[in-house]
Chain A
């Protein structure tokens, strides 16, 4: 009897202690402000830090955003976030989502939809390309924040005539003739899917519909012929099959290749190179797949979603909305080289200064082809990567049947 009484006291004491500790951690950081964790890739230019600071100040103590950095590699970012969301982690309030995650996260119930006034605010003034990446099943699942696209960059010292409106075929022939390379992302990872998707869209094709239904057609063969042609031509850089964005940038900077297909970050990072290298960089729109159709450049970027298990979803929506505001987009483009999703920001003189190619950028994003919007996206992407890698061993005649078979298996959750 007495013993039981004593143990009750102990339990009560522990509970009180836990309660105090719990309150303590809740009220941490600026007098009663709720902490909201924002999971997003590390932006070393300081743009995200500044956006967080601006929003924390304007929140006047209602919330405090905590910027949690994810790794460089997009596959790793997704793996980490997916594992935590599958573990129903309530620490995840705001997610800096790669544009390709929307359907998967929405279908699994890991993010909350944006509705009513919030939805209108999230969509207001945004470019059409980025908007498509936040839609799934007729609803809006995130606020477009930054976007991205690839341009055809060239070394003006070595390329006398700008390759405007050029097709991939002509580009490869031209580079091979001049004895120089074309840097592009040929590693077996998401970057390869980006390339293949842009090629297929550029020929007017599609890979899958929203429900994952197979739409693979002869355009996949056209894409495979281009990838294979480059990989087996003299214009292929030595590490094509392992090239990611950064290897491509280094190959271009070293002078090995006079052309590269890459995102806008390469322009900002060239500013630090000796010899005024940045001034030598020329740009043109993404190459065409076929001569009679304008190209469909890839669309990347980050959307802001709200975690389904967040303890403070209302505050998280407010904070995400604040982070995605045009002034923060401008900071992201100035400091991080990340293009904005709000159309009006492109007219800002500061942006024109950060991106001398701002008009081409807007044009590319407007014409851009999003990657397939389907909950099985990561499987589809894996199927594309397996089918198109290694680039020099693709058999274009078999690509359509192989890709079809893999996509079908991916849709059934099988091994492919």
Chain B
């Protein structure tokens, strides 16, 4: 028995090894190398000046107002898009869950934004709001000369709109899967007790869906925090819309300053870990509580 278990374990590890090693190499090695680069003064334009400088690149980034401004912009975009997506995604999930007909059509159509290349979506919305060629300013009730992508509020709004449009379907599908786990009997019982649909949604559906909601929020928050494609295409960081990923790109690729740029990269990585830990704690707590209640 134990011999068999041991051989089973060996087989399992052999099967998993290629994938695990591949993942370690493609992420672990570059991030380790980024940490090493971030400790150096290393600008490809001045290759002879390369030297070890310890943590001074981090001090430079963390004391610059640009970095904190970009963290703030990224936070605005993340919080705005994820919270709108949650509400909208829940609405779409409820439509799909309760729909009596047309379910297939809804499911197919929400998958379209999900499948579209982000860069394409970003161009589509940018052109839609362009003062010279866009159709939006041609609509009734909208000023003919409105140019949202020329000022901060408008640019942030268009970026959030693009992100929301593109990723709400994913949110909706995750929430739909969560909805399916809510037993119908509970609803029936509550209905007998005289609870209205709104009450049932807040008292039964939402609490039972909490783990699914947290998972969806975790996925989308981390995704939104990395936002790059949309901002790069729509404003390239102008009008006070620069995000941390855009800053990293600008320092690494435009200024070819690998030292400072790597410090930005590592800080973004740490921020992502921080957010993930925060959510996983919350998730663990909520599932634990639920298990406790069930027991």
Contacts and interface: CB of A to CB of B under 8 A. Distances in A.
Q: Do chains A and B touch in the complex (CB under 8 A)?
A: yes
Given A239-B132, A389-B238, A415-B61, A82 B46 contact: no
B145 interface: yes
Interface in A155-201: 187-189
A86 interface: yes
A242 B147 contact: yes
B239 interface: yes
Nearest to B60: A414
Contact of A414 (B46, B47, B247, B260): B260
Given A75-B254, A86-B256, A239 B131 contact: yes
A108 B45 contact: yes
B150 A415 contact: no
Given A414-B260, A415-B60, A415-B64, A238 B147 contact: yes
A413 B132 contact: no
B217 interface: no
A79 interface: yes
Contacts of A107: 45-46
Given A108-B44, A238-B145, A239-B131, A390 B151 contact: yes
Q: How large is the interface on B (under 10, 10 to 19, 20 to 34, 35 or more residues)?
A: 35 or more
Given A238-B131, A250-B132, A108 B47 contact: yes
Contacts of A189: 236, 238
Contacts of B247: 415
A338 B44 CA distance: 32
Given A251-B132, A375-B45, A413-B43, A187 B238 contact: yes
Nearest to A379: B255
A70 interface: no
Interface residues of A, number: 33
B86 interface: no
A247 B251 contact: no
A408 interface: no
Interface in A321-368: none
A79 B252 CA distance: 11
A83 to B, nearest CB: 7
B219 interface: no
Q: DSSP majority for the A interface?
A: helix
Interface string A375-412: 10011001000000110000000000000000001000
B243 interface: no
A107 B45 CA distance: 7
A240 interface: yes
Interface string A216-253: 00000000000000000000001111100001001100
Contacts of B152: 390
Given A82-B256, A188-B239, A378-B254, A390 B150 contact: yes
B131 A414 contact: no
A189 B235 CA distance: 11
Given A86-B256, A109-B47, A378-B254, 11 more contacts: A189-B238, A238-B145, A238-B147, A239-B131, A239-B150, A242-B238, A390-B239, A415-B61, A415-B64, A415-B251, A416-B66
Interface of B: 41, 43-47, 60-61, 64, 66-67, 131-132, 145-147, 149-152, 236-240, 247, 250-251, 253-257, 259-260, 264
3 smallest CB-CB distances across A and B, nearest first, come from A188-B238, A241-B150, A238-B145
12 contacts: A107-B45, A238-B131, A240-B150, A375-B45, A375-B46, A382-B254, A390-B238, A390-B239, A413-B46, A414-B60, A414-B64, A415-B66
